[in-house]
Structure 1
Amino acid sequence: METIKLNKSAERVVDVLFLLSKAEQALTLNEICKALTLPKSSGFELVQTLVYKGFLEIEDTRLKTYKLGIGAFETGIAYLSKMSVSQLARPLLQELNRQTGSTVFLGVEDKGKIVYLDKAESFSVVRPTAKLGSRRFMHTTGLGKALLAALNDEKIHYILTQDDLLPKTAHSNVSIQDVLKDVQAIRDRGYSIDDREDNIETYCIGSAIYDQWSQPIAAISVASMYSAMNSEREQTIITLVKETALKLSQQLGYGGNKLYAN
């Protein structure tokens, strides 16, 4: 294996930034130097350079405590802007597919419909599927309902009043009042359920995905054959969907620990 020669100064810069990114509060120069076993003189020069470049800020001028600056934030945002949701989601979709054995979908809202962006399909001969790029109703699919419930009430009302709420099966909600009840139930429990509402043979569980500004931007769902669903399997999938949705959201910069506000 090739030995990589690290630049000591660059390594120390990264160490300081990582230290302050994990710290629960601003740190003094002494605390930084002690944590990283840095000589105080070189630690002082390093910190002052990072302050000058905007990567650190002095939080308390009296105590001389330091925190991450706007430069660090801008660098992080630049990274996130170059990483699409699909790129970040792909390995998580595959892992969720492996854990559940079911088809996993990623979708976004566009013009009041849910658009299928990516999927990791089950290997079962009989399995739920959807063509990438296809559009389906927000009010009948687990994917669509998961995202719908995360939107603000004004946007929900706009989507629901653009077209008639057409049924896909006998189980579909077709009144605004019933859909809004479902939206509230999703918010209360933290995930969506599509119980044969879009396809009479499928049962889906979904959750919304959020960005660094806590805005809902996508959703994931696990789609199983209704005939293969039981209460134990349902609870397992619910847990995995919520964990995966939160993990993906946090990778996108989301700072919360809940997927829906009641």
Structure 2
Amino acid sequence: MPSPPDTVPALRRAVRILDLVKAASRPPLAADVARQLDLPRSTAHGLLAVMVELGLLEKTSSQGYRLGTRLLDWAGDVTEKRDLVAEFYHVLDNRPDLDTFTLTLTMLEGMQVVYLACRNSATVLGASFRVGMRLPAIFTATGNAMLAGMDDETFEDWLAQHPVATWPKPPTPHGIRSVTTLVREIAEIQDRGYAVDDEQVLDGLWCFGSAIRDHSGQAVAGVGISLPQTELTQYDVKELGARAVDLARAVSFRLGYRGL
């Protein structure tokens, strides 16, 4: 059976160049890249020029090439997410009082929250969170907790980038539908210290969320504690909010945050 045609040879060549530059004992010249990868010189020069333009490579004073700072940005983002997930699970290992709840860790990306980690409880009313899942931030406790953790200027910029006309339709009748409602909700979160998803994502499901802060005090993620509405009578609502705040503080502390 013949091999399928390679539809993206330039991408494969670019990755091979990155591997070569990383492994080289000294910054390779364009001629070195062409020779070692058996590429036409014009092809090698063209790829190298574009990779420098995109920040994937940098040209040294000796006309050689080294890895660019854009790769460091990507690597730092991956490391940050791994650290968040590791610290989240580390804290959960020492919190048996949270075993009966569904626990989630999310990050804000534009208009959505992305689920980085979750531990599902068997009792959560048919809801099963999974890593990689995305939901509109304004309907989630963790998303609103992160929005409430922004300073005023950053939050205003977020609103400008995501006008109400671009908001998705609420999945339940309880979802936020206007900027006025969102702003009021953010103020309430800042006042009480935690966010509440009162069946905005799914009928019959409640979630209490709080923001995680890094060493600089920036809100970088959110934790959520979810349970069925039918189980709310077993708890004090303020106590559930306090548990979310306490969980977020514990993860934040392990990330280096020493604020209140």
Report the TM-score when normalising by structure 2.
Answer: 0.62
Q: Deviations over 1:29-50 (max 9, x none)?
A: xxxxxxxxxxxxxxxxxxxxxx
- List structure 1 runs of 4+ shifted beyond 6 angstroms: 80-83
Residue range with higher mean Cα deviation, 104-113 or 122-131: 122-131
CA distance in 2 between partners of 1:169 and 1:114 (Å): 18
Residue range with higher mean Cα deviation, 156-165 or 219-228: 156-165
Q: 1:214 corresponds to which letter in structure 2?
A: G
Residues 81 and 200 (structure 1 numbering): CA distance in 2 closer, same or farther, change over 3 Å? Answer: closer
Establish whether residue 91 from structure 1 lines up as the match of residue 90 from structure 2: yes
Q: 2:133 corresponds to which letter in structure 1?
A: S
Alpha carbons 1:96, 1:241 under 8 Å: kept: no
Aligned to 1:110: 109
Aligned to 2:239: 236
Aligned to 1:204: 207
Q: Deviations over 1:132-176 (max 9, x none)?
A: 111111111111111111122333334344222531211111100
Q: 2:210 corresponds to which letter in structure 1?
A: S
Aligned to 1:149: 148
Aligned to 2:184: 181
Residues 232 and 119 (structure 1 numbering): CA distance in 2 closer, same or farther, change over 3 Å? Answer: same
* Structure 2 unaligned spans of 5+: 1-78
What secondary structure sits across from 1:222 in the alignment? strand
Alpha carbons 2:123, 2:228 under 8 Å: kept: no
Residue range with higher mean Cα deviation, 226-235 or 177-186: 226-235
Residues 223 and 125 (structure 1 numbering): CA distance in 2 closer, same or farther, change over 3 Å? Answer: closer
Q: 2:123 corresponds to which letter in structure 1?
A: S
Q: 1:132 corresponds to which letter in structure 2?
A: V
Deviation of 1:112 after TM superposition, in Å, equals 2.3
Alpha carbons 1:103, 1:128 under 8 Å: kept: no
Deviation of 1:120 after TM superposition, in Å, equals 1.2
CA distance in 2 between partners of 1:141 and 1:93 (Å): 21
What secondary structure sits across from 1:177 in the alignment? helix
CA distance in 2 between partners of 1:226 and 1:210 (Å): 29
CA distance in 2 between partners of 1:96 and 1:234 (Å): 19
Alpha carbons 2:195, 2:241 under 8 Å: kept: no
Deviation of 1:81 after TM superposition, in Å, equals 6.5
Aligned to 2:258: 255
CA distance in 2 between partners of 1:142 and 1:249 (Å): 17
Identity among equivalent positions (%) equals 25
CA distance in 1 between partners of 2:178 and 2:148 (Å): 16
CA distance in 2 between partners of 1:182 and 1:231 (Å): 25
Alpha carbons 1:93, 1:120 under 8 Å: kept: no
Establish whether residue 193 from structure 1 lines up as the match of residue 192 from structure 2: no
CA distance in 1 between partners of 2:167 and 2:98 (Å): 37
Q: 1:134 corresponds to which letter in structure 2?
A: M
* Structure 1 unaligned spans of 5+: 1-79, 258-262
Q: 2:184 corresponds to which letter in structure 1?
A: K
Q: Deviations over 1:106-149 (max 9, x none)?
A: 00011221000001111337453222111111111111111111
CA distance in 1 between partners of 2:110 and 2:249 (Å): 25
Aligned to 2:129: 130
- RMSD of aligned C-alpha atoms? 2.3
Report the TM-score when normalising by structure 1.
Answer: 0.62
CA distance in 2 between partners of 1:109 and 1:143 (Å): 9
CA distance in 1 between partners of 2:157 and 2:221 (Å): 18
Alpha carbons 1:109, 1:147 under 8 Å: kept: yes
